[in-house]
Chain A
Amino acid sequence: MDSKIKIILVDDVQMIRYGFWLKFRKLKNVEIIGEAENGKLFLDLLTNLKPDIVFMDIQMPVMDGYEATKKAMSHNPFLKIIALTNNNEESTIDQMILSGARGFLLKSVQIDELQKAIETVMNGGTYISSELVLMGNL
């Protein structure tokens, strides 16, 4: 029996982290092993935890998603990071991909797409939400 996919959630707004927890709860094969409210606290978590996938908000105080991704990837190039964004943010997909992210999702992502993104990334692929491509964030 496969063990559950270990996830860390990084977002500065607690309500959003909890909203994602509600969604992950509906997926049978995942487990949230940690949460952080900024990039720096996330890097601290990484010293003790070994996640399979990290869901990383981009806009955060103290240390944002770009920097946290770059730093995390330099320690562990195999870490799978999926970026989270709202369409109001001045974020660009290519910037996050250059940092090392394997995926890019809107925070409004629903459960089915979340599952698809996790599966794709766990299998070594890249997943970019189609709405983001359409919105011209590339």
Chain B
Amino acid sequence: MDKLKIIIVDDVEMTRLGLYLLLDKSNKFSAIVDATDGGSFLDLLQHFTPDMVLMDVNMPIMNGIEATQKAMKMYPSLKIIALTNDGGEEYIEDMIAAGAKGFLMKKINSLELQKVIEVVMNGGTYFAPELISYYNRVCIDHSEKRRIELTAGEETVLNLLCKGFSIKEIASKLSVSIKFVDEQCSQLSAKTATHNAVGLVLFAIKHKMVTV
């Protein structure tokens, strides 16, 4: 692999210096330039295309997501690797959507950083294991949130709706008034943000609220 040109973008001096030294140690770079903010980085891009960019996610004025979006518009094949401290995991989706090819924690060591750079230079993507497990947890949490709290009445009515019974039939089965069943349906619609029985049934099945 030819020696690479890389730009580091981070608002914290110690991080910039730390990354610079990590990269320099590897002797794989013909040029390392650091920028203190997204604006300066985009300035640099007007004149040069680096081989790779290490982009801090959390920066004031223009954050890494915006800087990545703007940079990818200029150079769609630009290889940007996002970097974040603990707590930055929530930005992974936005950075991927913006076009980042990798997402790393800043506490990465020199050898790992070199490996990741090589992977991304060869056209691959890389996401730090800590971030993947965070992402998995988040997805599970999101689907758990769909387990909406239902009253006994709502749950019973929902189950029967999903079995194909009409409102009249449900009222009859439960020995309750049609009005009562209607009320349960309204409450269910409100809780699920659906507008009709079909929507409600589909929602319930999709989110495994019932077994059919």
* Segment from A8-16, A35-43, A69-77, A93-101 that makes contact with B: A8-16
Q: Is the CB of A19 within 8 A of B30?
A: no
Q: Does A78 contact B (CB under 8 A)?
A: no
Q: Choose one: B13, B21, B32, B47; the contact of A18 (CB below 8 Å).
A: B47
Q: Does B111 contact A (CB under 8 A)?
A: no
Q: Is the CB of A107 within 8 A of B32?
A: yes
Q: Choose one: B13, B30, B50; the contact of A110 (CB below 8 Å).
A: B13
Q: Does B166 contact A (CB under 8 A)?
A: no
Residues of A close to B44: CB separation below 8 A: 15, 18-19, 22
Q: Does A108 contact B (CB under 8 A)?
A: yes
Chain A proximity of B4: nearest CB distance (Å): 11
Q: Does A48 contact B (CB under 8 A)?
A: no
Q: Choose one: A19, A87, A111; the contact of B33 (CB below 8 Å).
A: A19
Count of chain A residues with Cβ under 8 Å from any Cβ of B?
Answer: 16
Question: What is the CA–CA distance of A36 and B51 in the complex, to the nearest angstrom?
Answer: 23
List CB contacts (< 8 Å) of B21-76 with chain A: 21, 24-25, 27, 30-36, 40, 43-44, 47-48, 50
Q: Is the CB of A110 within 8 A of B31?
A: no
Q: Is the CB of A15 within 8 A of B35?
A: no
Closest B residue by C-beta to A18: B47
Residues of A close to B47: CB separation below 8 A: 14, 18
Q: Does B5 contact A (CB under 8 A)?
A: yes
Question: What is the CA–CA distance of A16 and B20 in the complex, to the nearest angstrom?
Answer: 13
Q: Choose one: A22, A87, A88; the contact of B40 (CB below 8 Å).
A: A22
Chain B proximity of A138: nearest CB distance (Å): 19
Question: What is the CA–CA distance of A111 and B50 in the complex, to the nearest angstrom?
Answer: 22
Which has the most chain B C-beta neighbours within 10 Å: A13, A15, A22, A87? A15
List 21 A-B pairs, Cβ < 8 Å: A13-B30, A13-B31, A15-B33, A16-B31, A16-B33, A18-B33, A18-B44, A18-B47, A19-B44, A22-B40, A22-B44, A86-B24, A87-B25, A88-B24, A107-B32, A108-B17, A108-B21, A108-B24, A108-B34, A110-B17, A111-B36
Known: A13-B30, A19-B34, A88-B24. 12 other contacts (CB 8 A): A15-B5, A15-B31, A15-B48, A18-B33, A18-B47, A18-B48, A19-B35, A22-B35, A22-B40, A86-B24, A108-B17, A108-B20
Please list the residues of chain B having a beta carbon within 8 angstroms of any beta carbon in chain A.
5, 13, 16-17, 20-21, 24-25, 27, 30-36, 40, 43-44, 47-48, 50
